[in-house]
Structure 1
Amino acid sequence: MNRRSWLKFSLAALASPGAALARTQPAPRLEDVLEPLRAKHGLPALAGAIVRKGQIVAASAVGARLLNSDRKVTVNDRFHLGSDTKAMTATLGGMAVEAGKLRWDSTIGDVLGAKVTGIDPKLAAVTLEQLLSHTGGIPSDTDEILNLYFTGDAFKSDLPTQRLRLLNAWKNHAPATKPGAEFHYANLGYVIAGAMIETALGVSWEELMINRIFTPLRLSTAGIGPQATTGKYDAPIGYQIGDDGAATPVPWAAPADVPPALGPAGAAHMSVVDFASWAGWNAGGGKRGPALVKPETLERIHRAHVSTGKLANPRPGTPQEGEYALGWGLVKFDWTPTAVLTHNGSNSMNFAKILVDRDKDLGVVVLTNFPEKQAEAAASEAQETLYKRYSS
């Protein structure tokens, strides 16, 4: 698999304002769950963490930053989140709405029409909320859309301009289905939503992520783009899987992630502990602080907006049906008493999984630096096991 198939979504998918989630020492035997799964599925590394009532009650990372190496991972190592970034983009959208710079029903044409002229009228009428719920009628990544991402211009100019370039290239396409009616998982829709947010607030999506989410939540390991520093093996390295099944490490720079303009759709990275902090903030409804958005705004972000429909041939670990909120799936698993917030993320080289049970004020996150079925199978089993162990 290469980066052109970078994201195949599957629905699996603070004590006081300004304070980080409280952290405890990692549970001593959490690795007894993770290590057998890592070995069974041939993963380089596997990390997991549980947050309950604002406290990280267990966190561990097993394996190595590279396959068959002695570069051991730690709970502070950065992993790529892929599309689990989408919930953060939706939260930035909520901030723009609360600031009076956008409305949930602000349209592409309202916000971006002066910068990108000649947008198809039906596409121009698609709203921010429809983009964030994947109901804007923009299709899932087609060959035509992938060709827009991976062009010779993909690394030219600043990133807000790059996102406008993508909209300009797509502007003659009317929505494939009636906006607001059907679910079609659309990375391009999130790129356009990111462009709307940064245009309305006058600050790039990247700056907003750092200043409005990473910093207030004290996610000290969080960043955007490839997780390893160029020239260093200071994080778990992602892998590409060839047609022959061979795994090739992709350590640094542009080849190690999707084109950077796609950031709003999935380009954040952070440690498993910081990822659990993000899960815990959501599990508490944002009421423990910091006050990124009002609880009622977060409730709207978490609320189901559309049924995903029934999937005829779901991928391993993917439920046949569920609902989608804004950057979150809502799924009732066989092993959860009610529907929970959940999402998977992958840039085709790494795999991330998050679950948030708001009723129990509980979050479970699992991360690995490997893609595809092996990664999803291990992460799904780990998440189920950890949820069962810590939810009672």
Structure 2
Amino acid sequence: MRPVRLTPLLALAVLFQLTSVSFAEAQEDLESRLEPVREEFGLPAMVAAVAVDGEIVAAGATGLRALGHDAPAEVEDRIHIGSDTKAMTALLAGMAVEEDLLSWNSTIGDVLGDKVPDMNETLAEVRLEQLLSHSSGIPSDTQEMIEIYFNANAFEHNLTDLRLMALDAWKDHEPVIPDDSPFQYANFGYLIAGTMIETAMGQPWEALIQQRIFQPLELETAGLGATATPGLIDALVGHSQENTGEPEARPWGAAADIPPIMGPAGTAHMSILDFARWGAWISGGAHRGPKLVAPETLAYIMDPKVPAKIPNPPPGTPEEGGYALGWGIEQFDWADRPLHTHNGSNSMNLAKILVDPEVDIAIVVATNIGGRQANLAAGYIMKELYLAYGGN
């Protein structure tokens, strides 16, 4: 492993651990970076954390949990991480592979054919690895898929049954792989992958992520769905601009998150500190405890599987990169090598994660509103923290 470059701020971060400087003071330093960016981009709140060599060296929170309420954002507050959940689903798949319950080449038909008969032959031949790398030919969300996600049957069935019903409703479609690139970001593909995992492992995806990831990593704030306790403003609350064009807090109920059926694609939440702990476990290459999978399995998950072309990317997002299993690989103009990263958003929140196993750094940034401004602000902070804490 290449030694960490001791930039001035990284040296300062080390000093925090070696002198009487408190973590609260380190936190204040990071908040001084976040607040002007939060104000400039008009965000309700902004939180971030940095982990180096498995330890959180800085964290900060600024702004409000919810507009219209006077509760300030704190680093212990739960934040919604959206599609950053996909990396956790991919890790559960790795566990199933290690336990010989699945293989990366297991097909939808192999695992679910008995439960969803008369499936389109091409769809039935789609492999688990294709689903997890967005290269199956299943398209990005269509209107038909959205109607399946929001099906009124949600009140009458368990989530495992609902996911099987979703696949059954879409089973006549034939996946089509584009000529220029096989990459099509497909939430529906992750819904199917989650169904394969829970079928093979004999437990609902919701139980698996709790028992096999959240609990072993001691992510005590981690959960699924909307962040705030009904009736309380005790977390970073998502904000929607759909109705009036102005940010509106969405604290509770169905309007506060995407449908639970989409859990494998992106419904996890946790504090920015726990999000950093998750990132730190990844950046450590599975060499630090707890043992969730073997280092070789995590390396396979993180290895790029498909080139990814992003049409009309937002500013700061490369047009091309790669996609592994639940992780994107991007070459940023401020880094000297491609980095593992991912964005997550349920349209009301936005979370970014970046890990660099070469120098064992994990950086997480989140805000409680979605959209272009949130993406730009979080991307700017991610870059600044990477350069400050050991990247180059």
TM-score (norm 2): 0.91
What is aligned with 1:365? 364
In structure 2, the CA distance between the partners of 1:96 and 1:312, relative to structure 1 (3 Å rule), is closer
What is the identity, as a one-letter code, of the residue corresponding to 1:125? E
Measure, in 1, the Cα distance between the counterparts of 2:295 and 2:350: 29
The CA deviation at 1:247 is 1.4
The CA deviation at 1:243 is 6.1
What is the identity, as a one-letter code, of the residue corresponding to 2:224? I
3-state DSSP of counterpart to 2:81: strand
The CA deviation at 1:317 is 2.9
Is the CA contact 1:266–1:345 (under 8 Å) kept in the aligned structure 2? Answer: yes
What is the identity, as a one-letter code, of the residue corresponding to 1:388? L
What is aligned with 1:270? 270
User: What does 1:199-218 correspond to in 2, within 5 Å?
Assistant: 199-218=199-218
The CA deviation at 1:95 is 0.3
What is the identity, as a one-letter code, of the residue corresponding to 1:269? H
The question of 1:314 aligning with 2:321 is answered no
Ranges of 4+ aligned residues in structure 1 off by more than 6 Å: none
Measure, in 2, the Cα distance between the counterparts of 1:290 and 1:33: 32
Measure, in 2, the Cα distance between the counterparts of 1:265 and 1:317: 24
The CA deviation at 1:244 is 4.7
What is the identity, as a one-letter code, of the residue corresponding to 1:321? E
User: What does 1:23-172 correspond to in 2, within 5 Å?
Assistant: 25-26=23-24, 27=26, 28-172=28-172
Measure, in 2, the Cα distance between the counterparts of 1:95 and 1:147: 32
What is aligned with 1:7? none
Is the CA contact 1:133–1:324 (under 8 Å) kept in the aligned structure 2? Answer: yes
The CA deviation at 1:69 is 3.3
What is aligned with 1:234? 234
Is the CA contact 1:43–1:67 (under 8 Å) kept in the aligned structure 2? Answer: no
Is the CA contact 1:86–1:266 (under 8 Å) kept in the aligned structure 2? Answer: yes
Measure, in 2, the Cα distance between the counterparts of 1:344 and 1:290: 25
The CA deviation at 1:253 is 2.1
Measure, in 1, the Cα distance between the counterparts of 2:33 and 2:128: 41
Measure, in 1, the Cα distance between the counterparts of 2:362 and 2:80: 18
The question of 1:343 aligning with 2:342 is answered yes
The CA deviation at 1:174 is 1.1
Bigger CA drift: 130-139 or 64-73? 64-73
Greater per-residue helix proportion: 2
**Larger RCO, structure (CA 8 Å, separation 6 or more):** 1
User: Which whole-Å deviations, capped at 9, do the CAs of 1:136-190 have from their partners, x for residues lacking one?
Assistant: 11000011211111222234311100110110001001112279x7011000000
Measure, in 1, the Cα distance between the counterparts of 2:243 and 2:258: 19
Is the CA contact 1:136–1:178 (under 8 Å) kept in the aligned structure 2? Answer: no
The question of 1:182 aligning with 2:167 is answered no
Structure 2 gap segments, 5+ residues each:
1-16
Q: How many residues align?
A: 369
The CA deviation at 1:242 is 2.4
Task: Report the aligned-residue RMSD.
Answer: 1.6
3-state DSSP of counterpart to 2:152: coil
Measure, in 1, the Cα distance between the counterparts of 2:184 and 2:193: 15
Measure, in 2, the Cα distance between the counterparts of 1:86 and 1:100: 21
What is aligned with 2:5? none
What is the identity, as a one-letter code, of the residue corresponding to 2:291? A
3-state DSSP of counterpart to 1:239: strand
In structure 2, the CA distance between the partners of 1:271 and 1:359, relative to structure 1 (3 Å rule), is same
Q: Which has the greater radius of gyration?
A: 2
Measure, in 2, the Cα distance between the counterparts of 1:318 and 1:144: 28
User: Which whole-Å deviations, capped at 9, do the CAs of 1:90-109 have from their partners, x for residues lacking one?
Assistant: 00000000011001100000
What is the identity, as a one-letter code, of the residue corresponding to 2:210? I
3-state DSSP of counterpart to 2:29: coil
The question of 1:386 aligning with 2:385 is answered yes
The CA deviation at 1:42 is 1.1
The CA deviation at 1:248 is 1.4
What is the identity, as a one-letter code, of the residue corresponding to 2:356? D
What is the identity, as a one-letter code, of the residue corresponding to 1:336? A
What is the identity, as a one-letter code, of the residue corresponding to 1:376? N
